[in-house]
Chains A and B, each alone.
Chain A
Amino acid sequence: MSYFGSQLSPGVAGNQLWALIYISIIFAGVSVAVMAMNWLERKALAHFQVRLGPMRVGPHGLLQPIADALKLLLKEDIIPAEADQFVFWIAPLIGLLASFTVYTVVPFGPSQAVSDMNIGILFMLGVSSLGVLGIVMAGWASNSHYPLIGALRSSAQMVSYEVAMGLAVVSAILMTSLNESGTGTLSMIEIVRAQQQQGIWFIFKFFPLGLIAFVIFAIAMVAETNRAPFDLAEAESELTAGFHTEYSGLRWSLFMLAEYAAMIAVSSIAVTLWLGGWMRPFPNALSAPAWEFLFSLFPALTFGGLAGIGFLGAARMPSHSFFKIQRAGLAVFAALLGLLALLLLVIAIAGRNADNSIAARFREGIDYVYWFVLKVAVFMYLFIWYRATWPRYRFDQLMKIGWKVMLPISLGVLIVTAIVGVIVK
């Protein structure tokens, strides 16, 4: 395979086969992540509220997402009689398509991306803004009051917050142009490279300018994905379930999948622009082989830790005969995680030399993807944390924050960043 061992992403190298393989891996990975996120959200929210959460299906409810998926697949698929059939049918697909298409340019590593576009970040923002069309169409096609109001709210909200979000992104892109040639870049991979060249994550650049832009983006992305505390589009107390009130079964689950995939996508934008993408902490300062080896042990350690938690849970199960199967199941799950940790450890040790052997390349790739996914995972946990912590905003408060607070601040940060950039040069 001529592509194997090349330093380009398959899209740039023009290799269709590997592009297809990458797409399948990313699609499967995102789907599994959505399922895991579903479980984690129910579990974490429950613990926030001093409940147990799902406990019955599998040990600690680990098989709950599978049971949920089965239930949704088997449920009756209802299309309301007065609904616009075609639009009702196509709306969830548009949302899903928009939120999965953006993964073509998400850089999991310098070559671990489907493709590298010259306009990467522009493409991501543009395609993810198409997701609102799915929501609007769903709300209108349902031909019912609650979905229509939910869709109206959602479109107004998303259009408003896109402005502040875009300006925050621009101020980060501005920072990529602070090099010798003075030209910035919109390519996701080059943005991360620019952070490596300048030796600083953009969140810390021109402190506190980068931080403010990052916070603006972090708030706007919660609003963009219609998550709490900005989930007015599906405010249960006012609108039943908002734009997807009339949806059921498989179609409804497509909306959920699209929402979670979009959450992961915007988190990866934030990670790429401000948190150094695939880079491990201190890639320049601590670049000695010993440090490299130490950091490459992290994936194995993470899975080892998860396995340890699993074994601990198995040991702490009540010693009643009812729990025999659950205990065995959890032990097997923990053992699988432990095996994975062992495999990662073997790869880390086999590929510790920075030569161009297959093991070393493999180890490098795993490191990149691990650090990227770890940073994104932090954001995913934050999404749950927000939802458990903050009450929902009122609609006028939401609009006020978007237009009167976030927009002026992001505009100000952009201007000050430009001025500081010129002075520093």
Chain B
Amino acid sequence: MTPGMAPVATPFFFYLLSGLAVLGGVLVITRRNAVHSALALIVTLLAVSGLYLMLYAPFVAGVQIIVYAGGIMVLFLFVIMLVNIERTAKERQFNRIWPAGVLAAVALLGLFVSVYVKGKRLFPDSNLPLPETSNTQQIGVMLYGNYMFSFEIASLLLLVAILGAVIMAKKRI
């Protein structure tokens, strides 16, 4: 970043983006119409990508848009569009697992509060590990240098998952 340049990472943008993300998240679970939920989820994902930008992680932000908002959500919508929405909206919910959901939510809230209270001790202050201008290059060096083995293992796992999905979905190959 050139000196003298106004920083973009102002509190205003942080609250705007996190507000959008929370609003989108609430809409995802409150809308009855699955397509509306999916659209709200896209808003959340884009807001989170903006938050990554504020953390000086442009590469992660770009990948977030390409993979989640542009790729996965299109496939979600693709499937949801083929579902008869009127029918699903009228269908009564028949499972009774809301106590478990409430329990999980309370536990998560407890975790957040404890991190907020003890955060200073758990996570000491540190400088940016990677400068913004060479962030992408540094990530490349890390992935293909220091963490080459785990990276390749992860891609092998994904490949196995893809092959498994194809074999299960197709009777005759």
Contact = CB atoms under 8 A, between A and B. Distances in A.
B1 to A, nearest CB: 9
B74 to A, nearest CB: 5
- Most B CB within 10 A of own CB, among A125, A126, A155, A184: A126
Interface stretch (B12-20, B106-114, B132-140, B148-156): B132-140
Interface of B: 2, 4-6, 33, 35-36, 39, 42, 58-59, 61-63, 65-66, 69-71, 73-75, 77-78, 81-82, 132-137
Nearest to A121: B62
Interface stretch (A127-135, A293-301, A366-374): A127-135
B71 A159 contact: yes
A393 interface: no
- Most A CB within 10 A of own CB, among B61, B69, B77: B77
A117 B58 contact: yes
Contact of B70 (A14, A129, A137): A129
B121 to A, nearest CB: 34
Contact of A148 (B61, B62, B69, B81): B81
Contact of A136 (B59, B66, B81): B81
B39 A137 contact: yes
Contacts of B42: 133
What interface size band does chain A fall in? 20 to 34
Contacts of A158: 74
A236 B58 CA distance: 41
A140 B2 contact: no
29 contacts: A13-B5, A14-B2, A14-B4, A87-B36, A117-B58, A118-B133, A118-B135, A119-B58, A119-B62, A119-B136, A125-B66, A126-B66, A126-B69, A129-B74, A130-B65, A132-B70, A132-B74, A133-B70, A136-B77, A136-B78, A136-B81, A137-B77, A139-B81, A140-B35, A151-B81, A152-B78, A155-B74, A155-B77, A184-B137
A123 interface: yes
A315 to B, nearest CB: 52
A159 B74 contact: yes
A186 interface: yes
